[in-house]
Amino acid sequence: MPIRYGFRQPRDGDGDDLDLDHVLRLISEEFLETGDLESAIERLLRDGFDAGDGSRVEGLEELMERLREKKRSLERDLDPEGELLKYHERLDAIEALEEAGVEELLHEAAASGDERRIEVTTDLAAERALQRELMGERLDERIQGYQSYEFVSTEAREAFEAMIEELRQDLVATYFEKTKATFSNADGTQWQELREMMDALSTMIEQDRRGEPLDPTFDDFMAKYGDQFPGATSLEDVVRMMAERAAAAEAMFNSLPAEQQQELRGLFDDMWNSLDMQFSMSRLVSNLRQATPDIDWQRAQRLRGQRGGSFSQAASTMERLGELRNLEGFLENGVPAQGLGEIDIDAVRRNLGDDAARHVETLKKAVRQLGERGFVDRSGGQTTLTAKGIRQIGQQALRDLFRQLKNSPALGSHQTPSVARGGDREETAKPWEPGQPFSLHLSQTLRRAVLRQGPGTPVRLEPDDFMVEEFEATKRSATVFAIDLSLSMAMRGNLVPAKKMVLALTQLIRSKYPRDFVAIVGFGEVAEELRFEDVPGLTIDYNYGTNLQHALALSRHLLRNERGDKQIVVVTDGEPTAHLNDYGEPFFSWPPVPETLHRTMAEVLRCTKANITVNTFALDIERSQFPFVEQIAKVNGGRTFYTSVDDLGAYVLDDFVQHRRAG
């Protein structure tokens, strides 16, 4: 895995205000709609989300657009080809100074009247002119020529020496950005130190590759050269820092047209003080290439700037463009949740700013905490909701339904469930909460107080010690939710509210009435029993048919050994259009044939004889449209509710609570 130097560890408190319950709610909305948890998480990460407190967390698509704009901005910033042109122009100016100096020397010789002086000066001027003419046109050729050229003009010589010093400093900073200040006035000693550092690093890389002990050791190396590698804590860190900078320099070379690239490489070769320095640099770059196979050393990216800038600045731009390209790769990952884990937040902050870093950190935290809090499981190469995650979604749906009941008194007078009074008392208790009726469970209250304060008397009670009695009717209920999974349920937008209702009511029964029986049946062309865990990802049956007969038969079978009140809650948006024939095979017909209706009604009669109540919630159905659902109520004695999909959950909850309290 690539080493990332200078990586900022997440600060304590980063994203602590993340409302994970809100995040899970947003994911569940998409998951309930599509049945694909991975795509639901991806959608959240790509689109971002409103955090619930008025703020917004930007998604990967918005961050990607920021990144691309930053790339365009950097590409418009500098152009090393323009820097080459600038040095050509500076050499032209130096040549003009030299020519003016030669002309002045000729003028002085002529004014002296000394024939010998005139002859010598004329020969000198001709010799220097021939030297300049033979230097060539490329910048590296011209500079190499002037390095062996004896200037006539002192001003031209000083200007050339200043330019060479500037180029050498730029060379050092291009490959060793952190050493630029150290070599601001480089002399022979400093160049020798640079060579020793390169050789020492090459030796360590070669030894590490062969599995040999490091000599010098990493600590010795850092004691001498650590200022040039801030933040590095290992050889891998140093290698990564050097390699990314050297690769950026290579990318800067590669960004130029072939002719200018050759010219600049020749120039850089000439700037090293000696062949030994060139060898040390070539050795180091070769070792860095071998040590970092993940880096693209051949990358090229055209810089389209309209102004020059130092070659080291161009390399820095290339380094930032490389970082942005890596970030782009992570953001474009086919599985965003995995790509997020690899993103260097510090690189985001450097290139896109604090806001973008905060958004990415929040997205990473959301994905991480979904796993840490046990809501999502990513083992086995798949992303699934855990039992805890499904229960949490059920609790959310239940809270939503209670809130809807509270805000819609017309749905029923019982807005909240309460513990039924009467029947045999069960030995259960729960902590007291302010505002609750005070029915103290004495033995458990005293036990909590003794455990808190230890043995001895008197026993002093505090509010946190109070345990209040819970009473529950001994009468049990058994419920099967039969959900229509035909194609029309999805086409009309009825499936998601139905799934929410099942999740909410099943969660209520399991948590509030743990001794009750609850099961779930889905029916389309045929019916099948569903696990609670299957409900969030449930999709419609693409085979045609609404096989209510099979659903009732299966539900009756599931209730056969249950005690207490038995009921089947049917949620459908149409009349039966399918049944099982004598061979147990599904038969479909639209409009429904009499046999389908007869077989379905026969199953209703069997449920009635088994003392099973069938309550039907008819979604978006006019009373006169499908009278068959009312026939079920007349035969069975159950109830039929004509309701919109928006009120489905609240109606079912209200009916269930009233029925359960009445028990």
Q: How confident is the model at residue 288 (pLDDT cuts 50, 70, 90)?
A: very high
Q: Is 500 exposed, middle or buried (0-12, 13-18, 19+ CB in 10 A)?
A: buried
pLDDT digits (tens, 9 = 90+) for 1-14: 333 333 333 333 34
pLDDT at 413 over 50: no
Taking the C-alpha atoms of residue 345 and residue 335, their distance in angstroms, rounded to an integer, is 18
pLDDT at 318: 78
Average pLDDT of the residues of the chain: 78
Which segment of 125-139, 340-354, 462-476, 596-610 scores lowest on mean pLDDT? 462-476
Q: Of 378, 322, 363, 320, which is closest to residue 61 (Cα–Cα)?
A: 363
pLDDT digits (tens, 9 = 90+) for 568-592: 988 888 789 899 998 889 999 888 8
Q: How confident is the model at residue 234 (pLDDT cuts 50, 70, 90)?
A: very high
Taking the C-alpha atoms of residue 471 and residue 441, their distance in angstroms, rounded to an integer, is 11
Task: Tell me which of 8 and 380 has the higher pLDDT.
Answer: 380
Per DSSP (E only), the strands in 31-102 are 48-50, 56-58
Taking the C-alpha atoms of residue 528 and residue 549, their distance in angstroms, rounded to an integer, is 12
**pTM, full prediction:** 0.59
Kindly report the CATH number that applies to the domain delimited by 477-662: 3.40.50.410
Across 253-262, average pLDDT: 79
- Report the 3 state secondary structure along 95-136: HHHHHHHHHHHHHHHHHHCCHHHHHHHHHHHHHHHHHHHCCC
Which segment of 237-246, 385-394, 412-421, 474-483 scores lowest on mean pLDDT? 412-421
pLDDT at 506: 84
pLDDT at 643: 67
- What's the DSSP call for residue 524? S
Indicate the SS3 state at residue 587.
strand
- Segment of 134-148, 168-182, 207-221, 490-504 carrying the highest mean pLDDT: 207-221
Taking the C-alpha atoms of residue 287 and residue 267, their distance in angstroms, rounded to an integer, is 23
pLDDT digits (tens, 9 = 90+) for 457-496: 777 777 777 776 554 445 678 989 998 888 878 777 778 8
pLDDT at 342 over 60: yes
pLDDT at 119 over 60: yes
pLDDT digits (tens, 9 = 90+) for 5-49: 333 333 333 445 678 888 888 888 888 777 778 888 888 888 888
Taking the C-alpha atoms of residue 245 and residue 654, their distance in angstroms, rounded to an integer, is 67
pLDDT at 3: 32
Q: What are phi and psi of 338, to 5 degrees?
A: -80, -40
Task: Tell me which of 414 and 177 has the higher pLDDT.
Answer: 177
pLDDT at 427 over 90: no
